[in-house]
């Protein structure tokens, strides 16, 4: 009953998102850089925030997934591994709330990266997704080159994602859900191990959707 009430509340939150008044714009995360550009024939200084670089991984269906699959989309990224004995199960239960809220929305996606690609093959990820009840392609589970996954996680999504033999499970990773806007900027970080963090994420997805309409 408690889970049903929570899911109902999330649904109401998404529905009301389109009816509320002006909201404060979400911040841009990452170290900004000042660059020189020519605007209307004049040289001006412009502050630019980092963007997620081009990437190519392999999804749970064995198909290549690149940044083009997320072009013009708001998406949520996270890092996990199938055999994780600690925070991953909680994170995935919470991400299911995001999935259920947006599985039929053409402008929102989820991208989950495994940090144990040697074990988490496309077939393993497919079984994992199926067990979660994920059938809509809006939620992609990806594997690939280990170093590329670690690099994009730590250098661009601004999270911890790496092997560590000293911790339980052999890998260490952030419990964050990372919100990316349609221009590939990082716009928010949320505690994926809590319902409160997930509710805040959904509220901020709605803010980004409004922002992109302007």
The pLDDT of residue 23: 58
| pLDDT of amino acid 14 | 52
Mean pLDDT of 184-191: 98
pLDDT, residue 10, reads 52
Nearest one of 127, 106, 112, 128 to 212, comparing CA atoms: 106
pLDDT value, residue 40: 86
The pLDDT of residue 169: 84
DSSP bridge partners of 59:
142
Residue with token string 């963007």: 51
Predicted local confidence at residue 62, as pLDDT: 98
| Residue 8 confidence (pLDDT) above 50 | no
pTM of the complete model = 0.87
Instruction: Read off the pLDDT of each residue in 119-145 and give the average, rounded to a whole number.
Output: 98
Produce one character per residue of 37-54: b if its CB has 16 or more CB atoms within 10 Å, e if not.
eeeeeeeeeeeeebbbee
Where do the domains of the chain lie, and which CATH numbers do they carry? 2-213 (3.40.30.10)
Query: What is the reported pLDDT for 39?
Result: 84
pLDDT value of position 22: 53
Question: What region does 175 belong to: left with phi over 0, alpha with psi -120 to 50, or beta?
Answer: alpha
Q: 3-state DSSP call for residue 135?
A: coil
Contact 29, 50 (CB under 8 A): no
Local confidence band at 13 (pLDDT 50, 70, 90 cut-offs): low
Among candidate residues 80, 99, 109, the one with its CA nearest the CA of residue 169: 80
| pLDDT (0 to 100) of residue 30 | 95
For residue 148, what pLDDT is reported? 97
Q: What is the pLDDT of residue 18?
A: 47
Q: Is the pLDDT of residue 5 over 60?
A: no
pLDDT band at 113 (very low <50, low <70, confident <90, very high): very high
How many other CB atoms are found less than 10 A from the CB of residue 125?
Answer: 23
Q: Where are the beta strands (DSSP E) in the chain?
A: 33-39, 42-48, 56-59, 64-66, 74-80, 108-114, 139-143, 161-163, 171-173, 176-180, 186-191
pLDDT value at residue 16: 46
Task: Check whether 202 has a pLDDT greater than 60.
Answer: yes
**Over the chain, what is the mean pLDDT?**
90
CA distances from 64 to 56, 184, 198 (A): 6, 19, 28
- Closest of 4, 5, 18 to residue 205, by C-alpha: 18
Mean pLDDT of 28-47: 89
Given this model, what pLDDT does residue 160 score? 92
Q: Are 109 and 70 in contact (CB under 8 A)?
A: yes
């Amino acid at each position: 009953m408690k889970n049903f009430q929570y899911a109902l509340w999330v649904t109401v939150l998404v529905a009301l998102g389109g009816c509320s008044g002006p909201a404060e714009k979400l911040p841009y995360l990452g170290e900004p850089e000042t660059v020189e550009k020519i605007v209307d024939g004049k040289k001006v200084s412009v502050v630019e925030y980092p963007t997620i670089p081009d990437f190519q991984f392999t999804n749970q269906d064995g198909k290549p997934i690149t940044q083009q699959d997320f072009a013009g989309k708001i998406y949520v990224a996270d890092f996990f591994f199938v055999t994780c004995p600690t925070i991953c199960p909680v994170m995935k239960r919470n991400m299911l709330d995001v999935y259920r809220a947006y599985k039929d929305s053409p402008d929102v996606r989820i991208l989950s990266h495994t940090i144990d690609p040697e074990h988490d093959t496309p077939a393993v990820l497919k079984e994992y997704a199926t067990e979660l009840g994920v059938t809509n392609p809006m939620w992609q589970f990806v594997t690939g080159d280990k170093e590329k996954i670690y690099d994009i996680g730590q250098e661009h999504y601004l999270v911890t994602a790496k092997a560590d033999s000293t911790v339980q499970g052999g890998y260490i990773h952030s419990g964050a859900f990372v919100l990316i806007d349609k221009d590939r900027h990082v716009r928010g970080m949320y505690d994926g191990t809590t319902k409160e963090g997930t509710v805040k994420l959904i509220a901020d997805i709605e803010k980004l959707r409004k922002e992109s309409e302007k």
